[in-house]
Chains A and B, each alone.
Chain A
Amino acid sequence: MSEPAVKGASASELKSGSRLERLLGEGHFVVTAEVGPPKSSSSKGIKDNATLLKDCVDAINLTDNQTAIVRLSSIAAAVHVMSVGAEPIIQITCRDRNRIAIQSDLLGAYSLGIRNVLCLSGDHQVFGNHPEAKNVFDLDSLQLVRAVRDLRNGKFVNGEKCRFNPKMFVGAAANPFADPFEFRALRLAKKVTAGADFIQTQAVYDLDRFRAWMDAVRELGLHEKVKILAGVVPVKSVAALRYVSTVPGMRVPQELIERMAGAADQETEGIKICAETVAVLREIQGVAGVHIMAIAWEKTVPEIVRQAGLLPRPVPEAAV
């Protein structure tokens, strides 16, 4: 079954019809942000954040038991986000659900109006608050991407037809900073083969390293097959920045640390650095958007987007 192209797609060629897909297809530099659901059944925080973000980002990711800590489910959080008029991107990890539960969740999510899904392996449960749990990993993230795509084409994982099938815009994650370089480019290519429509990367602090990764990505022509959203995280303090530099796989340039250390107001500087990073990323060929992960600091996102010159957010052309 041939895949309609995302680039320059006309309404009839859209895969999911989501706002994210349409804006990307129209060539806009998109902005997404992330909200972490609470460790409770309260929807207030989600709704408040979604209300805050809906006019400065194009879609909002709802994490799925991130770091293996039990939180309000991504799909339920997405429903709360839609209730205030914003567009969600649900996240699904392979850690907690088998193929039966995942496909069931996709059917349900689509029926609720959800149109974007990010597919992840998932942090191992040892990191979370229930480390004794059995892990699932029935599918891995690539098989999950493919499963979402196949469902979009009307087929379950077992080959059975699905009528009134979920047509999702499917994303995957990429880490330009871990591992031998060659391995990461190969992995991205595989995600494209599996059917990823968009990619969200880990936070970029080291622009040189990111540029080098984008060079390799462009060389393989991947930037034309998948929309790459570069990740950014605003940091509040030099201590936070120093901590980030100790996290495996993260690279933080020394100049950045020095800049934060010398700042009069570190929070303001952190926002400024983030906005500057966004502006630079916008100029790199092949970067289709930015993904702002300001968990527990969502209030800074409107300011970051404003400083980066990305307001107001565009409205997609005539609806499907």
Chain B
Amino acid sequence: MIVAEQKPLEEIYGFLNGARKVLIVGCKECVTVCQAGGEKEVGLLAAALSMKRRIEGGPPLEAVEMTVQRQCDPEYVQPLSGPAADCDMVISTACGVGVQFVAEHLKDKWVFPALNTRFGGGSVEQGIWEERCGFCGDCVLHLTGGICPIARCSKSLLNGPCGGSHDGKCEVSDDIPCGWQLIYDRLKALGRLDLLTEVQPPKSWRTARDGGPRKVVREDLKL
């Protein structure tokens, strides 16, 4: 899922810039799971912003709350037109994708991001999410025992590890396990260390973001 974190309240409050009525839109999928932009977080943000406005002595802020199934689908974004109509601006608590879909639909409204979208990852433990996928567009997980060298190696090496790997940790931080140590251990357990003897050739980054904004078209699904 996409993991995101809420921006500091001060920053979001700055987006308001004197607005009197704001629509705060949440999303029930990824950002609900990582407790950054779901219905609860929308409620907290709405209350926090209007309380802060009152304390700072500004004009009262009316914050309208709405949480849709997801914001990355036009069918769920279209119904926002009505509620947004008389609002001065919109704040989306979805990931960057959602914010953009909302902005594209509500063309004449400023749509602000309440979150900093961080990465594609999952839960490792209650309250902790880690990056797992490099979105490279050419998955090699079958060569590494299911551990992504693009996302989990700080240098995205395909023939790791580098000389900075120590005690199973990445040189960048002791909080980061060495991705290639993980791959080595996993392949050893699977009895497939042979996969590490071949020199993996240079990766084609054309399918990654390096090749430009990407698109997937499924002709069989188009009506």
User: Is this pair of chains taken from one and the same complex?
Assistant: yes
> From residue 151 to 175 of chain B, which have CB atoms closer than 8 A to chain A?
154-167, 169, 171-172
Question: Is the C-beta of A71 less than 8 angstroms from some C-beta in chain B?
Answer: no
* Cα distance A138–B155 in the bound complex, in angstroms: 9
Question: Is the C-beta of B193 less than 8 angstroms from some C-beta in chain A?
Answer: yes
Looking across the interface, which residue of chain A has its beta carbon closest to that of B181? A179
Which chain B positions have C-beta within 8 A of A126? Answer: 172
> When the two chains form their complex, are residues B158 and A140 in contact, meaning their CB atoms are under 8 A apart?
yes
Q: A121-B157, A140-B155, A189-B197 are in contact. Are A178 and B163 (CB under 8 A)?
A: yes
Question: Is the C-beta of A146 less than 8 angstroms from some C-beta in chain B?
Answer: yes
Contact of B155 among A95, A127, A173, A194 (CB under 8 A): A95
> When the two chains form their complex, are residues A186 and B197 in contact, meaning their CB atoms are under 8 A apart?
yes
> From residue 80 to 138 of chain A, which have CB atoms closer than 8 A to chain B?
94-95, 99, 120-124, 126-127, 135, 137-138
Which chain B positions have C-beta within 8 A of A178? Answer: 163-166
> When the two chains form their complex, are residues A248 and B166 in contact, meaning their CB atoms are under 8 A apart?
yes
* Range of interface residues on B (Cβ < 8 Å): 20 to 34
> When the two chains form their complex, are residues B197 and A140 in contact, meaning their CB atoms are under 8 A apart?
no
Which chain B positions have C-beta within 8 A of A157? Answer: 202
Which chain A positions have C-beta within 8 A of B135? Answer: none
> When the two chains form their complex, are residues B164 and A123 in contact, meaning their CB atoms are under 8 A apart?
yes
> When the two chains form their complex, are residues A121 and B166 in contact, meaning their CB atoms are under 8 A apart?
no
Residues of B whose CB lies within 8 Å of any CB of A are: 154-167, 169, 171-172, 181, 184, 193, 196-197, 199-203, 205
Which chain B positions have C-beta within 8 A of A127? Answer: 171
Contact of A137 among B157, B172, B181, B196 (CB under 8 A): B157
Q: A124-B172, A190-B159, A248-B167 are in contact. Are A138 and B197 (CB under 8 A)?
A: no
> From residue 24 to 40 of chain A, which have CB atoms closer than 8 A to chain B?
none
> When the two chains form their complex, are residues B164 and A124 in contact, meaning their CB atoms are under 8 A apart?
yes
Question: Is the C-beta of A59 less than 8 angstroms from some C-beta in chain B?
Answer: no
Looking across the interface, which residue of chain A has its beta carbon closest to that of B203? A138
Interface string of A125-168 (1 = CB under 8 A from B): 01100000001011111110011000000000100000000000
* Cα distance A180–B166 in the bound complex, in angstroms: 9
Question: Is the C-beta of A183 less than 8 angstroms from some C-beta in chain B?
Answer: yes
Nearest CB on A from B11, distance (A): 19
Nearest CB on A from B192, distance (A): 13
Which chain B positions have C-beta within 8 A of A139? Answer: 202
A-B complex: 4 closest residue pairs judged by Cβ atoms: A248-B166, A142-B159, A121-B162, A140-B157
* Cα distance A143–B155 in the bound complex, in angstroms: 13
Looking across the interface, which residue of chain A has its beta carbon closest to that of B205? A138
Question: Is the C-beta of A8 less than 8 angstroms from some C-beta in chain B?
Answer: no
Which chain A positions have C-beta within 8 A of B169? Answer: 248
Which chain B positions have C-beta within 8 A of A73? Answer: none
Question: Is the C-beta of A249 less than 8 angstroms from some C-beta in chain B?
Answer: yes
Q: A137-B155, A137-B157, A179-B181 are in contact. Are A143 and B197 (CB under 8 A)?
A: no
Looking across the interface, which residue of chain B has its beta carbon closest to that of A180? B184
Q: Known contacts A183-B181, A190-B199; can you find 20 more A-B pairs with CB under 8 A?
A: A94-B155, A122-B155, A135-B155, A140-B162, A141-B157, A142-B159, A143-B158, A143-B159, A146-B199, A147-B202, A173-B163, A178-B164, A178-B166, A179-B181, A186-B193, A186-B196, A187-B161, A190-B197, A248-B166, A248-B167
Which chain A positions have C-beta within 8 A of B181? Answer: 179, 183
Question: Is the C-beta of A285 less than 8 angstroms from some C-beta in chain B?
Answer: no
* Cα distance A192–B159 in the bound complex, in angstroms: 13
> When the two chains form their complex, are residues A179 and B166 in contact, meaning their CB atoms are under 8 A apart?
yes
Which chain B positions have C-beta within 8 A of A135? Answer: 155
> When the two chains form their complex, are residues B172 and A193 in contact, meaning their CB atoms are under 8 A apart?
no
Which chain B positions have C-beta within 8 A of A186? Answer: 193, 196-197
Q: A124-B171, A157-B202 are in contact. Are A141 and B162 (CB under 8 A)?
A: yes
Looking across the interface, which residue of chain A has its beta carbon closest to that of B178? A179
21 contacts between A and B (CB under 8 A): A121-B155, A121-B163, A123-B164, A124-B154, A124-B164, A126-B172, A127-B171, A139-B202, A140-B155, A140-B158, A140-B162, A141-B157, A141-B159, A146-B201, A157-B202, A175-B163, A183-B161, A187-B161, A194-B159, A202-B163, A249-B164
Residue of B158, B160, B199, B205 most packed against chain A (CB within 10 A): B199
Which chain B positions have C-beta within 8 A of A194? Answer: 159, 199
Contact of B202 among A138, A179, A183, A202 (CB under 8 A): A138
